[in-house]
Structure 1
Amino acid sequence: MNQQEFAELSAAYAVDALETEDELRFVESLAAHPEWRWIVDEDRATATDLAVSVDPVEPPASVKSVLFAAITGSAEQRISSTAPDSGPGDTVTDGARSESAPADDAQDDAVDPKRAARKRRAGAFALAASLIVVVGIGVGPWVADTISPPSAEQQALERVEGAPDAQSATAELSDGGTATAHWSADLGSAVLEVDGLPELSDAETYELWYVRGETPVSAGTFTTGDDSTVAVLGGDMAEGDLIAVTVEPAGGSPTGAPTTDPLFAIATA
């Protein structure tokens, strides 16, 4: 998945509109690309601002269904539905942008991928906002519930724990903390819950690994905070894998293999 595809899924995730399969792809991509976290944070902030911008009035079910249908459309449909029509003879005057503006925008977007991602995601939120204004009722409380779901990592953990074949195992850390691996072979997914891992400097990061036989396979990186941390392993888990964590340079191991000894390893067999 490239960054543009991730950004489109992020916009839908912010309003809790992803199907299960897309949500799983989204969570795994975020685990593999923690540098894209800013996209998720911006989308959630925008969605929350939208939710609290109206007075608390319970909307009818019909409005809920219309809004939900609007924000679950494709990115192309969302954007085209909000764009004004322009004829072949239209001109731009009096302070409006010149005819070269689209080309300038394209060049700017190529230079600044964050700017381009924001523009692509704007359609979903613009549609939701315009619907609220046109209908003239306060859908804020319902929207707030809809667009403020648990974090992507927490949702992934709940999905794995809810699988019929869900399993877990806990390892004690040397400094008194714990690490619990949750996995489902049927889903091919694993999530790590850690408590007590110290924060690292900006020059370092924790890296997740699947160890198959004697071959380590990177499953993404993560950072820790003051509270317990939930990290989703990217890629597909195979039954019998060891789940391990090492400390690596920021961005992950430059060699594609662990450069330090594992802090712990948890067997999934």
Structure 2
Amino acid sequence: MNGSHSQHRDEPQDEDLGLDLVDQVASSSRAERNSRPKRWILGVVGVVIVAVLALVVFSLLNGGPKASKAAKADDAVIQTIQLKNGGQAVLSSSASEDAIGVDLTSLPGLADGQQYVVWAVHEETGVSVVASSTGDDVDAGLTPAGDVLAIHITVEGSTIPSAPSEDTEASVDLPLDPGASEVPDAQDSGASDTSTPGADD
């Protein structure tokens, strides 16, 4: 009797031990399942970080803003123009880099809600906005630029329209002429040079 009683008393304990083992196995498998997505997410984050670092290094090695890229090329053509209401634009182009650079400086302040907009006129696709500014200096550019026919600089409202306004601050056809900004000075000096011999005669 005592033996059979102790056996019956032990049976629930054996059942409890079995349930405990099942619970332990289930909880460990749940923990493994929970840890797997975390490892997967960490792997993806790692790949993204490596890709971003590679892009940063690539951009650093390939040198700064597009304006500098065009201006620093061995075959760079640079033209300086004065804007109608003040300030100046230094435009640069490079066939080897297939880039156009735009550097605006000393821009006069604008009324509220106005901005300077630099436009590229493309041969087939119409116009695109290269840069905009409410008065800060601009160092921007465009690449590829092989189909650009002209650069326009305008003053627009707070919302940039689909096309430049007709009243431009400056408009320059491409290819650039590096001597274009010096032509008036050259004509003035030429006139004075021709007058001097005439006076001597």
- Highest Rg: 1 or 2? 2
Greater percentage in strand: 2
Give the TM-score, by structure 1 length.
0.38
